[in-house]
Amino acid sequence: MARSKKHLGRYVDPRTDFGWKFYFGREDNKILLIEFLNSLFHGEKIISDLRYKPVEHDGDYEEMRRVVFDLHCIGSDGEVFIIEMQQLFQEFFKDRAVYYTSRLINKQLARGKKGSDYYLPEVYFIGILEFDMDRNGSSGISRVTERPYFYDVALCDKLTKEIFYDKLGYKMISLPLFNKQPEELKTVMDQWLYLLKHLSTMDRLPTFLDKRIFGLIFEIGEIGKLTEEELMSYEASLKYKRDAESVFNSAKKSGEALGHAKGLSEGKAKGLAEGKAKGLAEGERKKALETAKAFKEMGLPIADIAKGTGLPVEEVEKL
């Protein structure tokens, strides 16, 4: 056991499913989630308290897709927060974020309610991503900003740039694009993002992090303090993360190679582009199915397998 703990490092990695919920998904530690969210809103709003809510939501109709959030909370002013940690690239992640918020918004008005009262609470989607959301330039827009790792999205008037509706927002963090060094950390949000990226490799609370905010993480996050059951869950979560990343990277390489070969055989630039895209998609899907089947045989939760591989829950259930 001692060898295993040493191999894992000193602190639980928050970028695993276990670690994310261990630090941010427990009532005893909710001050950590409150502090983290306040750093993202940076005075735009101040969250004083949170209540954890169910993360599983069935559709109103049988054919509607069931959704499972990582974390679902209600603020002291009635605002709704969906907080997601996404480890692997997902082509339609923006669609998923909009779908999740729309499902919760749809739940706010009771069926059969008459009249013109359509008052809705604030709804926010918070995404912590371990990939570049626009890595392929899919948005078609060049993001010229001092914080390319931070997406702060709201409904606004395209002509005046003024906020059209201030009760729906999306705040996304692309961790791979955050590369600040300790001496460059100017805000509390900077400190949080640095911690998320590097906590698993630290051996103590560094002096450049605010002890009043981050002391609790270093107090509760020591792997040596985990129960036997927690340690087993963490090891499984860490293995799942590493295996999924390995499968994804292998699929990407094989897909790119297949696409390149097909493109060259066609002898056209268009054929190269299409071949790379098709090869990548086919390779990723094949590997995702293999990984999902293996994880299902290991007894991992269907929802976790679907999230990690990017496959629909229904498809994983059929494996």
Written as six digits, the tokens of 93 are 């992640």
Residues 269, 270, 272: CA angle, nearest 5 degrees: 65
- Bridge-partner residues for 311, per DSSP? none
* CA–CA dist 312, 314 (Å, integer): 5
pLDDT value, residue 6 = 54
Q: What is the DSSP string of 172-219?
A: EEEGGG----GGG--SHHHHHHHHHHHGGG-SS--TTS-HHHHHHHHH
Instruction: Report how far residue 192's alpha carbon sits from residue 8's, in angstroms, rounded to the nearest whole number.
Output: 21
Question: Residues 201-256: pLDDT tens digits?
Answer: 999 999 999 999 999 999 999 999 999 999 999 999 888 888 877 776 666 566 55
Residue located via tokens 């499984």: 236
Q: Is the pLDDT of residue 277 over 90?
A: no
Token couple for 103: 């499902």
Q: Looking at per-residue confidence, does 287 or 28 come out higher?
A: 28
Strands 150-156 and 163-174: antiparallel
**Which of the 8 DSSP states describes residue 170?**
E
pLDDT of 273 higher than 90: no
Residue 272's pLDDT is what? 45
pLDDT at 267: 46
65, 59 in Cβ contact below 8 A? Answer: yes
Q: Is 277 helix (H, G, I), strand (E, B) or coil?
A: helix
117 pLDDT band, cuts 50/70/90, is low
DSSP 42: T
Is there a contact between 172 and 153 (Cβ–Cβ < 8 Å)?
A: yes
pTM of the model as a whole? 0.74
Query: What digits encode the pLDDT tens for the residues 279-303?
Result: 545 666 777 787 878 777 766 778 7
Tens-digit pLDDT profile for residues 30-66: 999 999 999 999 989 999 999 999 998 776 655 666 7
Contact between residue 171 and residue 97 where contact means Cβ atoms under 8 Å apart: no
